[in-house]
Chains A and B, each alone.
Chain A
């Protein structure tokens, strides 16, 4: 066990905890901070296996590089959500959804289109990941699958869910005051996570570029359309 692995794992757990507390509504804070928390949880898994031998480490290197390429996408998505709500606070974003309607349904046409594009960009970034599990084969012909420990796979799932919640918060999640509000949350999260699950083995050519272009167009539309 290396110091780096332990620090990375601890950072991921701390990030996931912070994101959970913020998204649960117990604490308010900036969307930028929530993104940093959730993104830390997502990247910590690959960082934790950087010392786990050449097989896992190679996959981890690729995974981290891919997540770094998605950084501009996430920044653009967060900017689109913040501009649409005219605030950088999570509570204000949810409040905007409750008062002015969901970003993906209400408001100026350009803003609604931009919200959909930003949501799509976030979804692409969410589902595109380099799997850390890999198959190996020996000279005798026996094959094996090398996987990270189960604790790390759970942390990875937690990071994906946290980022999905962030997307729902930004574009489709109002403050929950009745059953209808909860239905929006449950429905949006279910769709996003089902999409992530189904698309985890999908081969996309340059998903980083696709996501960045979608997010840039979405942010531009939202800025042009303005807040409702």
Chain B
């Protein structure tokens, strides 16, 4: 079966070629782009369904398994949303062409099975990202943030190429046989792409640079990060513990602080942290939970951006649906880590902050919901918004309440594709029965329908004291550095321009280094007869 891969790779490229040709015909361009997006999304979904059914999906050097199918689905979803956002820009057709080209280049590494193709795919995707940054960013702080995120992405490429370049002794097959040092390098490269602490600044920069760049980062770039981190975990228990510690740090410190500042748009950070923790721990229930959290990480960012132009109720609907996966995934991962912690103190050290972070997130997520969502029955809301929100919440609660069922559809095949975990090879029961989930869900839905009554129409005070939240002093782990304020003065704009040039020079240098490393990998592999 090669149709899914052809659709995922060819449809966006066709849109990239034809969109500029229809620059002066926006209606026709939107129809074309919509058709291409639907084809790519359909291909990704079809590929995932086929791989979950254990059917082979391959075309030439490209292939899919359930794990890669999940990543491709998330990446394509974000790419399509990024293209939709690019349509509203002044040079919409050019921006859309750049997004589709870059997105395809970033998705291609998810489909390859050899290291030399992987490194060139990573570099091509990074070049595409830089091109999108150039096309879509506005002068001033936007371009500075875009340049900084591009440099970080290239630095991640350098680390990945360095790690893979030292591991060619066993051939070019994926996953590579990494040493501990190489695994550490690859883990650092992956953490940058995942946007987790202590390298969360670049992802925050991409968000601040614009919706299009943010969607590309949280979709294809994050998918690459998940791909790399699974390879890094294979290097040994030390790397797996380090990855789990980074995930826990993100959940405990970064995510609540980011939630407080950025609203539920920071939900993907929590989901990514939970996903990484589950994959690093291993074992069946934790991997199932990590799979659900990974899916939620992809879906929640797209949902957040997609609901931007709609009503608050619609946004609540989309956010609730993706949040259901996160709740189910968190419950599975937390239970697995705690159960393992009763046997091994190392797991206890992971379980403790992870549970504390999730509990704190339960408090803070309510405070960080933006005002538009808080009053969804205002303008743009009404009964339709309430119904839509109810449906979304029902979907979300269903996923949250039935993790056993949700995991069996996607988590089990993905766990099978990933194999035995590094830290836990087996796991206990998921710990949540279907009946319990159904009863809790029914109670929640009844409460939602009945409601506690009218509370009043006043709005919540917007002034928030960040100092009240523990861990806020560490928030810089998750935050991008400051950038000159665009509206302050022409002097600030000039300062931003100077900074952009510096970052561009750094990007050029690092890209040359990464290209050299990739060429070396290719030459060494060819010289040893691996190609």
Contacts and interface: CB of A to CB of B under 8 A. Distances in A.
Nearest to A87: B342
Contacts, number: 240
Contact of A68 (B364, B441, B457): B364
A16 B451 CA distance: 15
B342 A75 contact: no
Contacts of B399: none
A17 B444 contact: yes
Contact of A88 (B256, B335, B358, B448): B335
B448 A7 contact: yes
Contacts of B330: 36
A10 B447 contact: yes
Contact of B363 (A21, A26, A43, A51): A43
A57 B461 contact: yes
Contacts of B452: 5, 9, 48, 149, 151-152, 155
B342 A88 contact: yes
B373 interface: yes
Contacts of B458: 51-54, 57
Contacts of A54: 458-461
A95 B363 CA distance: 32
Contact of A74 (B359, B433, B454): B359
B367 interface: yes
B339 A1 contact: no
A118 to B, nearest CB: 13
A33 interface: yes
Chain A, interface size category, equals: 35 or more
B352 A48 contact: no
* Chain A interface main SS type: helix
A10 B352 contact: no
A172 B457 CA distance: 45
Contact of A75 (B335, B359, B389, B451): B359
Contacts of A58: 461
Contacts of A67: 363
Contact of A65 (B356, B363, B448): B363
A4 interface: yes
Interface of A: 1-18, 21-22, 26-33, 35-37, 39-40, 43, 46-54, 56-58, 60-62, 64-65, 67-69, 71-72, 74-76, 78-79, 82-83, 85-89, 148-149, 151-152, 155, 219, 223
Q: Which 9 pairs from chain A and chain B are nearest by CB?
A: A14-B444, A53-B458, A30-B335, A47-B366, A13-B447, A17-B443, A52-B455, A10-B448, A71-B359
